[in-house]
Amino acid sequence: MSFSWGKTPSFNVVEEKQFYHCFGCGKSGDVFKFIEDYRGVSFMDAVQIVADRAGFPLEIEHSRTEQSTHTNPHQALYDIHTEAARFYHAVLMTTKIGEEARSYLYERGLTDEVIKHFQIGLAPNENNYLYRSVSGKFDEHVIMNSGLFNLADNNLVYDAFQNRIMFPLTNDTGQVIAFSGRVWQASDIEQKVAKYKNSRSTPIFNKSYELYHLDKAKATIKRSHEVYLMEGFMDVIAAYRAGIENAVASMGTALTHEHVEHLRKFTKKVILTYDGDKAGQAATQKALDELHNLSVEIVRIPDNMDPDEFIKKILLTIYKIY
């Protein structure tokens, strides 16, 4: 522990921002950073300490990759993405700004169970919060090749995702390989900041091949012999809330031949569930061109609605009936 212990009061805490600064030694940060420095523990250990102290049940999943022999040449990239997913999820579930983001998700119909199932997280509105957490654990070339960070003109590293709700994307075996971040605060929405930001391509992530939620949906897809193909993350999440567990999405990108071949491994029947507006109808037609060798059904969504809104309307109708 390296805080200064002078006789003059020099430790200041800003409660409303959950932030501290020591004028004696220059250290500053949030509650997690304080515990990291004070107790000499890792970020995830600090999160667990805070959760235990607050009586908040927090389960931190440990991936099978941590017990691996690291024979995969890209194992470090999988590991840093696993670490980032835990980090983002912990920020969402245990911090004050996370509480605000959770309120936004609750208003959209999500529950803690849904948030946990999809391991949704939050990237803080800070330049290098994630970088500070992982910089001592991974080689610099791994960090810069992960797609999670950028390099500024002054050669300082900063987080690629800031102030966004984070959706981890996993491969078929459940390893985190990328993220998509969604704006959630009114100021960003009003300024028309890009709604979604996806990870760039890396040695472990090809957006033209990967499908959101496939690792969790594949068992149901095999049993039912069909898959609901949607455009966005929230569409898949709405489907899951409605009891539809065999839904996947192409991350908001156009359906590719690689996507189709990926799906073909699990089923020969696709139920297209795209938006009901003109753009969605055009995307449906393009998807049909790619899916010509598979059995295809189309769910007709009312104009100017997306599957997320459509499913919510159906659920609301059911609740009113019962």
Q: What is the rounded distance in angstroms from the CA atom of residue 296 to the CA atom of residue 27?
A: 59
Domain range for 29 is 11-54
Q: Is residue 6 a part of any domain in this protein?
A: no
Residue 16: its pLDDT value, please?
58
- 194 and 149, same domain (yes or no): yes
Same domain, yes or no, for 177 and 123? yes
- 74 and 31 share one domain: no
208 part of a folded domain: no
Q: Is residue 303 included in any domain, yes or no?
A: yes
Interval 45-82: pLDDT, tens:
777 777 777 777 666 554 444 444 345 789 999 999 99
Domain co-membership, 88 together with 183: yes
Residues 32, 99 within the same domain: no
3-state secondary structure of 298: strand
Identify which of 136, 131, 164 has the alpha carbon closest to the alpha carbon of residue 148.
131
Would you state the structure tokens that stand for residue 138, as one six-digit string? Answer: 């991974």
249 lies in the same domain as 231: yes
In a domain? residue 257:
yes
- Could you tell me which residue, 211 or 3, shows the higher pLDDT? 211
Examine the domain organization and report whether 46 and 148 are in the same domain.
Answer: no
Query: pLDDT tens across 83-142, in order?
Result: 999 999 999 999 988 999 999 999 999 999 999 999 999 999 999 999 999 998 999 999
Collect all residues with Cβ–Cβ distance below 8 Å to 116 and sequence separation of at least 6.
59
**CATH at residue 41:** 3.90.580.10
pTM as predicted: 0.76
Q: In CATH, what number is assigned to the domain containing residue 305?
A: 3.40.1360.10
Which pLDDT score, from 0 to 100, does residue 64 have? 42
Same domain, 223 and 283: yes
d(CA 264, CA 1): 55
Q: What are phi and psi of 147, to 5 degrees?
A: 85, 0
| Rounded distance between C-alpha atoms, residue 7 and residue 256, angstroms | 66
Residue 181 and residue 95 share a domain: yes
Report strand pairing: 227-230 vs 269-272.
parallel
The pLDDT of residue 54 is 73
Task: Tally the domains of the chain.
Answer: 3
**Do 94 and 189 reside in the same domain of the chain?**
yes
Which of residues 150, 167, 198 is at a domain's end?
Answer: 198
